Amino acid sequence: MESPISQYLGTVHREISTLDEGQPSHSTPVLAEGDPDGFGIAIATVDGHVYEVGDAGQEFTIQSISKALSYAIALEDHGFGFVDERIDVEPSGDAFNEISLQTNGRPDNPLINAGAIATTALIDPGREGRAARILEAYGRFAGRELHVDEASHRQESRYGDRNRAMGYLMKSFGIIEGDVEQALDDYFLQCSISVTARDLALVAATLANNGVNPVTGVRAATPAVNARVLSVMSTCGMYDDSGHWMTEVGIPAKSGVGGGIIAVLSGEMGLAVYSPPLDEHGSSVRGVETCRRLAGDLQLHFAHAT
């Protein structure tokens, strides 16, 4: 017997499947091959229940959702003061790939490309190397071992000259120190980590659960870092659509050009959607609509008084 939550998600999935606007990203061939009909929704609660519908087990690249997780790692490595000096927490109002730096070269926030590249450069390689640390940390959020889509990694680099330009510009300002090519390669790698909507729902549920994965019980972020990540997602997570998003949906969220979106309801649940066709901001059309629908039906907007 299907649970009422699964039945409800099935209805939402069926209705939103008819939305056929937008196109998969064309910034790399792997992204351009994203299935326009692929559509999955997953919810994970902070007490560890997972509900899935549609293509919630389909793997795709995490892309910009990675930025929130790498920000957590850099904050754990260096603390707030050190990271804040190099990466601000102001919404830029610009598109995700805008070359928007402050006059001292500091990016506005860690969730646009410039800020994300600077963030990755701050991740301590430790003994095992930065890539291994990134995979391990993301795996703690998702609750399973993740891997890199190698074709995507190669293509992000091959078609990554705009990101490369931002990296070198920030190096010239001293915001990025050390090997900028390595930092860029690690950024391309983190964008290419394969995930499913189910994985992302668990990532979101971990953020909703004060940094502890609700299924494995493993801590992925300290409470202070977890809270900071959510704060920045609230103001900057949906790029140049962040203001509208907060007004209409009212839940901290992060999208990626692979077609993924996560939304976090603190203390309650994480929501994730996969659907490759994107809107003009680079967010999944069906993903945005699913979040809007759930926020309305379930009264999830932060300003809603019960």
Give the annotated binding-site residues for substrate. Answer: 64, 113, 156, 163, 187, 239, 257
What's the rounded Cα separation, in Å, for the pair 231 and 178?
A: 29
Q: Which is nearer to ligand GLN, 198 or 254 (CB)?
A: 254
- How many other C-beta atoms can be found within 10 angstroms of the C-beta atom of residue 141? 26
Residue 119 in contact with ligand GLN, rule: CB under 6 A: no
Binding mask 281-300 for ligand GLN (x = CB under 6 A): -x------------------
Residue 64 in contact with ligand GLN, rule: CB under 6 A: yes
Kindly write down the DSSP assignment for every residue of 86-147, as one continuous string.
HS------S-TT---B-TTS-BS-TTSHHHHHHHHHHS--TTT-HHHHHHHHHHHHHTS---
Query: Which of 25, 30, 64, 284 is the catalytic position?
Result: 64
Annotation marks residue 284 as catalytic: no
Helix axes 197-208, 65-78, angle to 10 degrees: 40
Q: Count of residues binding ligand GLN (CB under 6 A)?
A: 12
What does DSSP say about strands 50-54 and 40-45: parallel, antiparallel, or unpaired?
A: antiparallel
Residue 96 in contact with ligand GLN, rule: CB under 6 A: yes
Minimum separation from the CB atom of position 182 to ligand GLN (A): 16
What's the rounded Cα separation, in Å, for the pair 306 and 28?
A: 45
Annotation marks residue 187 as catalytic: yes
Residue 259 in contact with ligand GLN, rule: CB under 6 A: no
Q: Which is nearer to ligand GLN, 109 or 163 (CB)?
A: 163
φ/ψ of 287, rounded to 5, equals -65, -45
Q: Which of 156, 199, 241, 289 binds ligand GLN (CB under 6 A)?
A: 156
Residue 138 in contact with ligand GLN, rule: CB under 6 A: no
Task: Extract the tokens encoding 191.
Answer: 């964008």
Q: Which is nearer to ligand GLN, 211 or 259 (CB)?
A: 259
Annotation marks residue 168 as catalytic: no
Query: Which of 257, 264, 273, 288 is the catalytic position?
Result: 257
Q: Which is nearer to ligand GLN, 53 or 186 (CB)?
A: 186
Minimum separation from the CB atom of position 63 to ligand GLN (A): 3
Q: Which of 256, 270, 276, 287 binds ligand GLN (CB under 6 A)?
A: 256
CA distances from 142 to 34, 115, 184, 211 (A): 22, 23, 24, 11
Annotation marks residue 159 as catalytic: no
What's the rounded Cα separation, in Å, for the pair 218 and 215?
A: 8
Measure the N-to-C terminal CA separation of the chain; round to a whole number of Å. 30
Binding positions: 64, 113, 156, 163, 187, 239, 257
| 211 closest CA partner among 196, 232, 227, 188 | 227
Residue 63 in contact with ligand GLN, rule: CB under 6 A: yes
Kindly write down the DSSP assignment for every residue of 223-265, as one continuous string.
HHHHHHHHHHHHHHTTGGGHHHHHHHT-S-EEE-TTSEEEEEE
- Residue whose Cβ sits closest to ligand GLN: 64
Residue 191 in contact with ligand GLN, rule: CB under 6 A: yes
Annotation marks residue 51 as catalytic: no
Residue 257 in contact with ligand GLN, rule: CB under 6 A: yes
Q: What are the catalytic residues?
A: 64, 67, 187, 239, 257
Residue numbers of the site for ligand GLN (CB under 6 A)?
Answer: 27, 63-64, 96-97, 113, 156, 163, 191, 256-257, 282
